[in-house]
Copies of this chain bind each other. A is one copy, B any other.
């Protein structure tokens, strides 16, 4: 089971790297810049979490993440030159990655005795901040700020995880339920185009 979570995390890192390559492909960014954007997208969220918790950055402690992010970035680059990727190819893996990063991030924060509310935001940071940094590097307003229930799904899942845990539900079960909630909310929001309202400030 731990093995499964580990490799799912590696896969999520790889998917995020792929989204970084696609984003960089819309900008005047060369191949190596693309690699850097891909690595930022893949590793940025977890790195910020680790800095805030004063623990070693996960990709420095374990080189597997870095190698897989690099490989995924280069593979995506090669692939998009050969074939036209279906536009929604990454939606499902990305939702799974979001859910996994968020739940694992919340879990780690709680293990460091972070108060529960801050822990849920560290979970959200883990889940969405890589994408935020990716879009900042590409000089765009971060997509996750207006996407179909992206951060919202993550936060709901993190809150559920904390709530279940404090109600005495065993951690693995709480994690599984929260994970399922995030994936389900995100996919449902994409399917039925559910977005939170934006608003125009009057001032």
Contact = CB atoms under 8 A, between A and B. Distances in A.
Contacts of A32: 145, 151-152, 155, 196
Contacts of A124: 36
A137 B144 CA distance: 11
Interface string A70-109: 0000000100110111110100000000000000000000
Given A66-B118, A81-B199, A199-B80, A137 B146 contact: no
B30 A201 contact: no
A54 interface: yes
Nearest to A119: B60
A141 B80 contact: no
Interface of A: 21-22, 24-34, 36-37, 39, 47, 51-54, 56-57, 59-60, 63, 66-67, 77, 80-81, 83-87, 89, 114-115, 117-118, 121-122, 124, 128, 132, 136-142, 144-146, 151-152, 155, 195-203
A34 to B, nearest CB: 8
B37 A145 contact: yes
A16 B197 CA distance: 22
Instruction: State the number of copies, please.
Output: 3
Nearest to A82: B202
Contact of A57 (B29, B52, B199): B52
Nearest to A81: B199
Contacts of A87: 203
A26 to B, nearest CB: 6
A33 B145 contact: yes
A201 B80 contact: yes
B60 A21 contact: no
Given A31-B197, A203-B22, A117 B84 contact: no
Nearest to A199: B25
A121 B59 CA distance: 11
A26 B201 contact: yes
B195 A145 contact: no
